[in-house]
Chains A and B, each alone.
Chain A
């Protein structure tokens, strides 16, 4: 069963706009990670935020984590056509430090 659930399932924006994707989870976590997947390709790690962190930045990416609401958001600023991909959140929780539990993903389309 999925721990993380992304919202929306699909998002279509124009180049230059910001894209925000959300992830909700059910149980307490050690960390939350975001991955990107270009169509039919392997996943690429974007950013990791630990349970004691509230916000993290990496280039045009901004991730927030609200453990009281069990939710995270990924913001991509000034989007580009090359950002078109599926974005997945993945959580590590409890004693299962071997395992990442992935959500179903948000398909982002950035139109030129």
Chain B
């Protein structure tokens, strides 16, 4: 979905390297999320943010950090990448609570850690 973009789309890196994945959205949504997806599995929530000043850990935040630079931008960092962080990473946005609202997903970043 062009409204939510992710860069890079593919990245191969080595163990121990610092990696930043970026997400931008033009939907004007306050809420943004980072998920990872492993083959054959559903999505696991890494971090989420309700606005620029509100950032929260998800289910699997260890080894990751995030930065909400603006309403439209939410970056995910791997401070020291390890092979089991090889996965497909998705950014998503929503207007409000998941009780009432769908989430809009970016196209994903495929990360390989050697």
Q: Which of B1, B41, B98, B103 contacts A97 (CB 8 A)?
A: B98
Of A53-61, A77-85, A101-109, the one touching chain B: A101-109
Number of interface residues of A (CB under 8 A): 24
Confirm or deny: A30 has a beta carbon within 8 angstroms of a beta carbon on chain B.
yes
Cross-chain contact A104 with B1 (CB below 8 angstroms): no
Cross-chain contact B105 with A44 (CB below 8 angstroms): yes
Cross-chain contact A42 with B108 (CB below 8 angstroms): yes
- Also in contact, A45 and B104, with CB within 8 A (given A31-B99, A40-B88, A92-B99): yes
Cross-chain contact B4 with A2 (CB below 8 angstroms): no
In the bound assembly, the distance between CA atoms of A19 and B58 in angstroms comes to 33
Cross-chain contact B97 with A98 (CB below 8 angstroms): yes
Number of A-B contacts (CB under 8 A): 63
In the bound assembly, the distance between CA atoms of A105 and B39 in angstroms comes to 11
Q: Which of B70-92 contact A (CB under 8 A)?
A: 88, 90, 92
Cross-chain contact B102 with A33 (CB below 8 angstroms): yes
Q: Give every chain B residue within 8 A of A30 (Cβ-Cβ).
A: 98-99
Confirm or deny: B45 has a beta carbon within 8 angstroms of a beta carbon on chain A.
yes
Q: Which of A61-97 contact B (CB under 8 A)?
A: 88, 90, 92, 96-97
Q: Give every chain B residue within 8 A of A40 (Cβ-Cβ).
A: 88, 108, 110
B residues at A contact (CB < 8 Å): 1, 4, 31, 40-45, 48, 50, 56, 58, 88, 90, 92, 97-100, 102-108, 110
- Other than the given A30-B98, A41-B107, A41-B108, 10 more pairs (CB < 8 A) read A30-B99, A42-B1, A42-B107, A45-B102, A48-B102, A99-B98, A100-B98, A102-B42, A102-B44, A104-B41
